[in-house]
Amino acid sequence: MHRELAIALRARVTWLVAALAALLVGHGFVLAVDLFSSASRSALAGSLQPREMDPLVGVVRPTLGVVDLALVLLGPIVAARVVSVEKERGSFGALCLQVGSTTTVLLRKLLAAACATSLLVLPAAACLVAYRLAGGHVDPIETAVATLGEILHLGVVVAVSIAAAAWTSTFAQAAAVAVVFSLTSWMIDAGEGFAALAWLGRAEAWSVERHVAVFQRGVIGLGPIAWLLVATAAAIALAIVGARIDLLIRRRAVVALSISVIAIALLAAVGQVRRAYDWTEERRASLPPAVVAALRAVPAPIAVEVDLDRDDSRRRQLESDVLAKLLLTRPDADVAFPLDARGDTAAGAHDGGYGRIVIRVGDALRETRSTSRKELVTLVLEAAGASSPDWTMPPYPGFPAVVEGTSRRVVALAAYGFFPLAFLGTGLVVSRRRTGR
């Protein structure tokens, strides 16, 4: 492993990319802290409810969001290089012969690439520590869950980059292929919130970012974990096949096609797994405990049909709040958006039924146009013949934090200066060519 780690960690480009990622993450972090501080000022002045001041949403998620960006755009440069330079230098084949197996070589390279790429995640951790030191609140468990999502994302990026490197001849080709893969995921996400892109809705299940986003809510989803692991495993399998330089390209292509078909089937299957666990502080991603107990006690299947377009803010509110919480409680609930299936979205908008939310519990049917969490859940329970439970939530106090003055300057200095320069400095020392004289 020393040889592979040296190629990954003693390369200047690795540390340069890490410094760039630190700058990007630092910028996102400082913007998030400033916005959160501004909102916190209002909360402390009484204009906003302090309990709405959620650092997971206000600081952790935006910071990790930039890590996603860095992983997608810069991760392949670090990860693919570990294999690609061997190919460009003409030493890959001799190395495989020396080690005895292309698979062993590739797996070692994968580990080394994962170590190097994890440098892109470190600045976020450092920023959150800085926020904590500046007086902000960071819950370790929900932050660890959000970070788990980034680690799984890193696994996918590294595996795809290694696969791209295994199938191509040069570093440029490999990095381009890996970035294009990630951008495809972004393209799918671009459909969110646009009725005109409703046709992309069916592809949502294939977006890497969509699966990672679950963790950023402090929720551990078994489906997303399985999906990201299967995607990583599939990319590793493709990499192993791609690296088999002793096989004819036609044979490798047939095996790769078989792996792809199996992977697609597995991804589709695990994508259906909705079981998830709320690890947020005070379980605030869930409905109140009594409501959860009441909903789980409903024996009949629950179905919700929402007649709202993708670009309707009410729908986005429903999806991020009550529907997410309902699915967390009842993963078996069926949620449908019939307008997504229609090509003519304008006709849907003019339909008299637009805005209707139909709730089916067994044979009972209820209908509403309200997007209120309480109203919808009450209708579900009413249709099930259950009484309305206690809606008291465990008290989440909220954590407004105003980072200003010296603290703000120190945080900004760390984010824009210290962390990137620390990476650059470390890189200069580590990558220094030793002349031995």
> Where on the chain is the footprint of other proteins (CB under 8 A)?
2-3, 6-7, 10-11, 85-86, 89-91, 93-94, 96-102, 244-248, 431, 433-436
Nearest approach in angstroms of CB 436 to other proteins is 4
Query: Greatest CA span in the chain, whole angstroms?
Result: 85
Q: Is 108 helix (H, G, I), strand (E, B) or coil?
A: helix
Q: Helix 102-117 crosses helix 222-242 at what angle (to 10 degrees)?
A: 130
Q: Which is nearer to other proteins, 15 or 181 (CB)?
A: 15
Please enumerate in sequence order all residues whose Cβ is within 8 A of that of 425, keeping only pairs 6 or more positions apart, or say none. Answer: none
User: Taking Cα atoms as reference points, which of 185, 135, 167, 351 lies closest to residue 252?
Assistant: 167
Nearest approach in angstroms of CB 114 to other proteins is 17
Neighbours of 145 (CB within 10 A): 24
C-beta separation of 295 from 378 below 8 A:
no
Q: Which is nearer to other proteins, 67 or 239 (CB)?
A: 239
Q: Which is nearer to other proteins, 97 or 180 (CB)?
A: 97
Nearest approach in angstroms of CB 92 to other proteins is 9
Structure token pair of residue 113 = 């690439």
> Tokens 């495993």 label which residue?
233
Q: Which is nearer to other proteins, 246 or 363 (CB)?
A: 246
Q: Which is nearer to other proteins, 409 or 432 (CB)?
A: 432
Q: Which is nearer to other proteins, 96 or 124 (CB)?
A: 96
Nearest approach in angstroms of CB 261 to other proteins is 24
What is the DSSP secondary structure assignment for residue 203, as one 8-state letter? G
Burial class (CB in 10 A: 0-12, 13-18, 19+), 431: middle
Tell me the CA distances in angstroms from 89 to 20, 86, 102, 156, 246, one per residue in order.
26, 5, 17, 26, 18
> Tokens 């997007």 label which residue?
371
Q: Which is nearer to other proteins, 250 or 350 (CB)?
A: 250
Nearest approach in angstroms of CB 178 to other proteins is 21
Structure token pair of residue 84 = 């690609």
Nearest approach in angstroms of CB 285 to other proteins is 44
Q: Which is nearer to other proteins, 35 or 94 (CB)?
A: 94
Nearest approach in angstroms of CB 244 to other proteins is 7
Q: Which is nearer to other proteins, 97 or 297 (CB)?
A: 97
Structure token pair of residue 302 = 């629950």
Nearest approach in angstroms of CB 7 to other proteins is 5
Task: Measure the CA–CA gap between 25 and 419, rounded to whole angstroms.
Answer: 10
User: Taking Cα atoms as reference points, which of 210, 195, 24 lies closest to residue 121?
Assistant: 24
Task: Measure the CA–CA gap between 334 and 349, rounded to whole angstroms.
Answer: 23
C-beta separation of 290 from 390 below 8 A:
yes
Nearest approach in angstroms of CB 249 to other proteins is 8
Structure token pair of residue 286 = 């869930």
Nearest approach in angstroms of CB 243 to other proteins is 10
Q: Which is nearer to other proteins, 317 or 431 (CB)?
A: 431
What is the DSSP secondary structure assignment for residue 394, as one 8-state letter? P
Structure token pair of residue 216 = 């950023």
Structure token pair of residue 22 = 């630190």
